[in-house]
Amino acid sequence: NTTYLPQPPTLKPTERSSSTPHSLSRAMGCCQNKPLGEEVNTVKVVRAAAPAAAPLPPTDVDKKWQQRKAPETVDDKQWKDLGGTMLEPLLDDIDLVDLQYIIDITEAGIKVPRWQDVPLGARINRQNLTRIQKTFNPFVLPVLVLSYPWLDPEHPDKELNTLRRLLPALKAVEEGAAKLGEGHTVGLMMDYPCLPQRATN
């Protein structure tokens, strides 16, 4: 004998903004217990966004980085030759973080903030792309990707153990961009400050 699970109650979808992700959710077991060929009614559930956490108060370093001027025009020939245009569409949805900002907060003993708390002047995206379009090395793009282990569940590097060890290498890379003049830098892809994160409190 086959025992069928009862049909779950109908859930009313909640209102959502255009920026809130949604998906279809249904217990798989309920679907799989139906005989093959029999129509299965699906229930559409709209997942509401998690409540936003209050932003952290800006540090002195953050205040300095609230505004950052980008060069109006640059010679982007090397950027194009090295395939930089392939990255540009990604920067419509993902921010890089200015490597100099990470150096500044590490030297100040401040742990890396989540994306929501990164000052606008420290973010690099399609709107201020000229900050990284001028390359200081003819063979590589001024974009650095950092892969590292999280040292704690609530924060990847709350004691700055990782960044302090990497600091000499990060400063060496940034010094190359600084030679190009004011406004030029290296874009860093690091998950915690580049992607939205849950509140740790």
| Distance in angstroms between the alpha carbons of the first and the last residue of the chain | 50
**Assessment of whether the complete model's pTM goes beyond 0.85:** no
- The dihedrals phi and psi of 97, each to the nearest 5 degrees, come to -115, 140
Residues 120 and 70 placed together within one structural domain of the fold:
yes
Amino acid in position 119: P
> Domain limits at 122?
60-194
Residue 170 lies in a domain: yes
Residues 111 and 145 placed together within one structural domain of the fold:
yes
Residue 13 lies in a domain: yes
Residues 96 and 182 placed together within one structural domain of the fold:
yes
Residue 102 lies in a domain: yes
Confidence of residue 199 (pLDDT cuts 50, 70, 90): confident
pLDDT at residue 99, rounded to an integer: 97
What's the DSSP call for residue 195?
Answer: S
Instruction: Express each pLDDT in 138-161 by its tens digit.
Output: 899 999 999 999 999 999 999 999
Q: What is the mean pLDDT of the chain?
A: 80
Of 25, 49, 73, which closes a domain?
A: 49
Residues 17 and 110 placed together within one structural domain of the fold:
no
Is residue 8 predicted with pLDDT exceeding 90?
A: no
Nearest to 118 by CA among 185, 190, 48: 190
Cβ atoms of 180 and 136 within 8 Å: the answer is yes
Of 49, 71, 86, which closes a domain?
A: 49
Which whole number is the average pLDDT over 13-33? 41
Residue 200 lies in a domain: no
Which whole number is the average pLDDT over 66-93? 91
Residues 31 and 78 placed together within one structural domain of the fold:
no
The domain total for the chain is 2
pLDDT at residue 73, rounded to an integer: 84
Residues 83 and 109 placed together within one structural domain of the fold:
yes
Residue 140 lies in a domain: yes
Amino acid in position 40: V
Residues 66 and 89 placed together within one structural domain of the fold:
yes
Q: Is 144 helix (H, G, I), strand (E, B) or coil?
A: strand
Residue 39 lies in a domain: yes
Structure tokens at 83: 């395939």
pLDDT at residue 72, rounded to an integer: 84
Which whole number is the average pLDDT over 22-26? 37
